[in-house]
Structure 1
């Protein structure tokens, strides 16, 4: 008996549609998988730059709390880092939303997850995020300050470039970001040959951070509990249509929790202060905090950036356990 022809055999158009769908799915899988692998290679190279030897070693300021503005001295004691040795690198993981709208009244919030590495010897960080720009369309974003240079890069599927920036204005903005986010790595707020504090009333102080020939200055405001409540910049460069625009900026921190003996915020929001009002563009929740004590050894053994080299602190979950770079 002759078998009846299948519906696709009777309908060449349907057969072509099925084959096309299978091919598209295969191409999508290859693009996504291949893009993730290429992105991991770039990330590991940048992580090596993050912990490269520094020609200038920051030294403690060499004075007691009497030389610090009172709210700063209170803060450092309260969070528990005043006399505690700093790890080489702090790893942070966040999840939250990014506002992709550069201008106009409408906001375009998109979910993201991120891993971030913060160096404590020399100012430096690497922020690696996955943003859901559309369903099944991930955009990988790298925002970094490495060796005195700023870097911003976004790639569709980790492959196709959609945005990039560098140069001295970006470097200054990224050094500001490093200083502003120090409440998540509070060792960076201890006075040193690079960082100095100046008073500004009873509940505020200015931090000035120098790296090489570059210097940035931010105002830190402290709440009644002695913890950092907000950080402000009179002007921080942002890109609007690819053009750098100096704009007042603010970051807010909330819901502090003790992680491994260190008090850090678990919620944060950043916003541009435009003439028409505040424009929030980042809202995040801390999902993981871990320390790497010997980053250079981890680089030599090619384990840096993987789970193996970190001391995961209590009361944290594993965050993005399926990150291919962990394998």
Structure 2
């Protein structure tokens, strides 16, 4: 009996060590992705933006000099699968300014333990959504051309949180439409495109995108129209940004939100002196 307990104890210890090692590897991978987003290209402010976009971004910059990367935290609720209830999560995010990309890490906790961790990222033309148990062991991953376009669309859709990127990132392709503007970005999996709509005050209050990949409960991927809303504009961390947002897919039965969140902390890291 003692030998059995001893063997079980060793197996448990080995599992704990393996989980910690894998979690450390994932953490270092995330940190490396974040570091790549902070690289600046030394460019000047764009002078080719649609006027409504330029005015929006300059108002968001609030007279401050552009930074090199955005770091923010969110209080989030998510519907993890269609028909399920809202689950509270805490998230942090890094958004590239000169470089098109982001890293979003969210955790669903049971007490002090991060039972499930989601890592959503786009960088260097590629996107990935990686779901981990205890921050270590993979329970699901989305990557490939559909993920490239989907995560690039997320970067574009969240540009209202990064007026610096609107003014500096020359990989973004802007065009005016009859009732708003569109912004596009080339990825390894093809072009991503998002439309923005403004209110009478010139603030972005809604976004839409066509044919964004959505993973279904059975694991299949379906292309659906995507929409979101921004609200509660105000000063946070030296920028005027929307402090609340919501996003969802448009099913044959109508719009269903799956993410809503509030910015709880926001800062822009200063650019290094030339």
Relative to the length of structure 1, the TM-score reads: 0.70
Secondary structure of the structure 2 residue equivalent to 1:187:
helix
Q: CA deviation at 1:35?
A: 4.7
Which residue number in structure 1 is paired with residue 172 of structure 2? 195
Which residue of 261, 272, 278 corresponds with 2:249? Answer: 272
Which residue number in structure 2 is paired with residue 186 of structure 1? 163
Is contact 1:98-1:110 (8 Å) kept?
A: yes
Q: CA deviation at 1:294?
A: 6.0
Which residue number in structure 1 is paired with residue 52 of structure 2? 71
Q: CA deviation at 1:251?
A: 1.4
Secondary structure of the structure 2 residue equivalent to 1:75:
helix
Which residue of 61, 67, 88 corresponds with 1:80? Answer: 61
Per-residue Cα deviation, 1:47-104 (whole angstroms, up to 9, x for no partner): 32343399995855753xxx543322331232226x85432221110012110123xx
Which residue of 54, 58, 71 corresponds with 1:91? Answer: 71
Q: CA deviation at 1:227?
A: 1.0
Which residue number in structure 1 is paired with residue 192 of structure 2? 216
Which residue number in structure 1 is paired with residue 30 of structure 2? 46
Question: Which runs of no fewer than 5 residues in structure 2 stay unpaired?
Answer: none
For the residues of structure 2 that align with 1:278 and 1:62, how far apart are their CA atoms?
A: 35
For the residues of structure 1 that align with 2:267 and 2:176, how far apart are their CA atoms?
A: 32
| 89-98 or 236-245, larger mean C-alpha shift | 236-245
Which residue number in structure 1 is paired with residue 212 of structure 2? 236
Q: CA deviation at 1:198?
A: 1.5
Which residue number in structure 2 is paired with residue 119 of structure 1? 96
| Structure 1 pair 147–239 and aligned structure 2 pair: CA distance change class (3 A) | same
Secondary structure of the structure 1 residue equivalent to 2:67:
coil
Q: CA deviation at 1:244?
A: 2.0
Per-residue Cα deviation, 1:166-213 (whole angstroms, up to 9, x for no partner): 112101111110111111112222265312321123x51111223578
Q: CA deviation at 1:290?
A: 1.7
| Structure 1 pair 100–293 and aligned structure 2 pair: CA distance change class (3 A) | same
For the residues of structure 2 that align with 1:119 and 1:256, how far apart are their CA atoms?
A: 21
**Count of residue correspondences:** 262
Of Structure 1 and Structure 2, which has the larger fraction of its residues in strand? 2
Q: CA deviation at 1:110?
A: 0.8
Is contact 1:191-1:197 (8 Å) kept?
A: no
| Structure 1 pair 230–49 and aligned structure 2 pair: CA distance change class (3 A) | same
For the residues of structure 2 that align with 1:36 and 1:249, how far apart are their CA atoms?
A: 37
Q: CA deviation at 1:245?
A: 1.3
For the residues of structure 1 that align with 2:21 and 2:233, how far apart are their CA atoms?
A: 35
Per-residue Cα deviation, 1:254-296 (whole angstroms, up to 9, x for no partner): 101112431011111001011101110001011010223369x
Is contact 1:259-1:289 (8 Å) kept?
A: yes
Relative to the length of structure 2, the TM-score reads: 0.82
Pair member with larger Rg: 1
| 42-51 or 278-287, larger mean C-alpha shift | 42-51
Is contact 2:70-2:95 (8 Å) kept?
A: yes
| Structure 1 pair 58–238 and aligned structure 2 pair: CA distance change class (3 A) | farther
Per-residue Cα deviation, 1:124-164 (whole angstroms, up to 9, x for no partner): 11111102489967201111112222111111212332111
